[in-house]
């Protein structure tokens, strides 16, 4: 005990060696402390270097703003840059996580990200993750973070189920964490910069859609693709016409912009269909297929021998696996898998075996020989017919 007291007096931050452990375990214990100390020192050095560079090369707000607005001229970014969500009786729009990342990168002298601090199991068998999203302006030393706990559970209208696969848990963490990270980034970047970026993206999207809507052929293709996207989610043409307060023949580029922003909102998980179309909240519209239906589709897919092709098709529909298929799309997916089932092969009928001679088998012949011969039947005279 005196040795331990002297040890702590000499180094108050050290961990005293455990009593009764072997020499090998003691060395491993010391090695773990050294590794942790080295990792901590390396992280501190990296942060110091970033802060030092940010001080030496401060951002030019005008140049950063120009870079952001130039990025917003790209149609691929502009189409996925803005989403809408209902707040009370109003529709509020905002930048998506993709636009937030572009703004942070071009604003400069900052860092942002998502960290998984801990994964643990609860007493009820459902695990949870403790995560932290953050955004740090290294130049002004403004640090914003959001720490939250996330249950490994996927909710559906029919109840829900726990997640056990690492991939499912990772996707859930990334999806839910991206929203907190976006909030941190938007709090770090000035609001007028964000408003200008959103307006620029809308202008880019509207310009591209105006050109497409002026061409009858492109207009038909654009509307058909949009209707197909919403139809797969149970939203009919009448629902969209009520949402836009306009018939399909009267849709303009502004209407298509609104539908694109609604699409971004649904894909980012900011809102659900029931938020815009309340009647879809009933009838299990947002639920996924049952375990029995999942098993049925998996067995059908196995029979096709083209599981890879079916998996790729699901990904194009925004579905990670069979268990995530919406309940309203079960019949559609079953019909798709059934259509690629191999056609049943018609096997040729087996060739008829030649009629064996009517000679008895040896044993049977011996038995027949032993039997007394019956008198042969007397011939019966038959009257011949005229043509015989």
List helix spans (H) across 72-145: 75-79, 97-107
Residue 124 and residue 104 in one domain: yes
Assigned domain for 302 exists: yes
Residues 87 and 174 both lie in one domain: yes
Please tell me whether residues 29 and 111 are part of one structural domain: no
Residues 215 and 68 in one domain: yes
Q: What is the DSSP string of 156-207?
A: ETTEEEE--SHHHHHHHHHHHHHHHHHHHHHHHS-HHHHHHHHHHHHHHHHH
Within-domain flag for 120: yes
> CA–CA separation, 70 vs 103, rounded Å?
11
Does 201 lie in the same domain as 335?
no
Backbone angles phi, psi at 253, to 5 degrees: -65, -35
Of 219, 254, 275, the position where a domain reaches its end is: 219
In a domain, 385, yes or no: no
Q: What confidence score (pLDDT) does residue 288 get?
A: 72
pLDDT score at 12 = 44
| Structural domain includes residue 377 | no
pLDDT block averages, 10 residues each, the chain of length 388: 44 48 55 74 84 90 95 94 82 89 95 92 80 94 93 72 85 90 95 95 93 92 92 88 93 93 84 82 60 87 88 77 78 85 62 54 51 50 46
Asked whether the beta carbons of 197 and 103 are under 8 A apart, the reply is yes
Residues 13, 90 share a domain = no
Asked if residue 278 belongs to a domain, the reply is no
Reduced DSSP (H G I as helix, E B as strand, rest coil) percent helix, strand, coil of the chain, to 5: 55, 15, 30
Q: Are residues 320 and 201 in the same domain?
A: no
- Would 353 be classed as within a structural domain? no
Q: How far apart are the first and last CA of the chain?
A: 130
With respect to residue 255, please indicate whether it lies within any of the assigned structural domains: no
Q: How many domains does the chain have?
A: 3
Same domain membership, residue 41 and residue 185:
no
pTM of the predicted protein model: 0.63
Beta partners for residue 155, in sequence order: 160
| 77: containing domain | 63-219
Query: Are 27 and 98 in the same domain?
Result: no
Pairing outcome for strands 90-95 and 142-151: unpaired
**Is the separation of the CB atoms in 272 and 286 below 8 Å?**
yes
Return d(Cα 193, Cα 267) in angstroms, integer: 25
**Looking at the structure, do residues 214 and 78 belong to the same domain, yes or no?**
yes
Which of 201, 219, 237 is the last residue before a domain boundary? 219
- Which residues, in sequence order, are CB contacts of 132 under 8 Å at separation 6+? 114, 115, 117, 145, 146, 147, 148
Residues 25 and 117 in one domain: no
Q: 187 and 123 in one domain?
A: yes
Domain boundary among 191, 219, 247: 219
Q: Which two tokens stand for residue 168?
A: 């499912």
At residue 266's C-alpha, the angle toward residues 260 and 270, to 5°, is 115
Looking at the domain assignment, is residue 367 inside a domain? no
């Amino acid at each position: 005990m005196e040795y331990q007291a002297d040890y702590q007096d000499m180094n108050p931050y050290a961990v005293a060696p455990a009593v009764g452990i072997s020499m090998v375990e003691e060395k491993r214990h010391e090695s773990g402390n050294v590794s942790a100390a080295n990792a901590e020192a390396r992280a501190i050095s990296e942060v110091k270097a970033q802060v030092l560079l940010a001080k030496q090369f401060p951002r030019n707000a005008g140049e950063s703003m120009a870079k952001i607005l130039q990025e917003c001229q790209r149609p691929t970014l502009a189409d996925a840059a803005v989403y809408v969500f209902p707040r009370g009786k109003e529709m509020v729009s905002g930048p998506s996580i993709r636009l937030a990342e572009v703004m942070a990168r071009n604003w400069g002298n900052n860092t942002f990200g998502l960290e998984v601090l801990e994964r643990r199991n609860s007493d009820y068998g459902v695990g949870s993750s403790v995560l932290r999203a953050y955004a740090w302006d290294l130049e002004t030393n403004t640090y914003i973070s959001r720490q939250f706990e996330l249950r490994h559970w996927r909710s559906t209208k029919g109840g829900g189920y726990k997640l056990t696969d690492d991939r499912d848990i990772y996707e859930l963490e990334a999806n839910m964490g991206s929203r907190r990270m976006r909030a941190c980034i938007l709090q770090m970047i000035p609001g007028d910069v964000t408003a200008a970026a959103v307006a620029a993206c809308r202008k880019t999207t509207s310009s591209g859609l105006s050109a497409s809507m002026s061409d009858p052929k492109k207009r038909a293709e654009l509307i058909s693709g949009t209707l197909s996207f919403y139809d797969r989610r149970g939203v009919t043409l009448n629902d969209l016409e009520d949402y836009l307060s306009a018939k399909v023949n009267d849709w303009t580029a502004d209407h298509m912009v609104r539908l694109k922003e609604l699409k971004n909102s649904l894909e980012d998980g900011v809102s659900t269909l029931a938020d815009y179309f309340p009647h879809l909240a009933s009838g299990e519209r947002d639920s996924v297929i049952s375990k029995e239906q999942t098993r049925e589709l998996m067995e059908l897919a196995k029979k096709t021998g083209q599981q890879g092709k079916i998996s790729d098709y699901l990904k194009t529909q925004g579905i990670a696996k069979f268990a995530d298929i919406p309940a309203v799309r079960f019949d559609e997916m079953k019909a798709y898998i059934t259509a690629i089932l191999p056609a049943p092969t018609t096997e040729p009928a087996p060739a008829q075996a030649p009629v064996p001679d009517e000679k008895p088998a040896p044993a049977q012949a011996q038995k027949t020989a032993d039997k007394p011969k019956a008198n042969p039947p007397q011939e019966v005279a038959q009257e011949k017919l005229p043509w015989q």
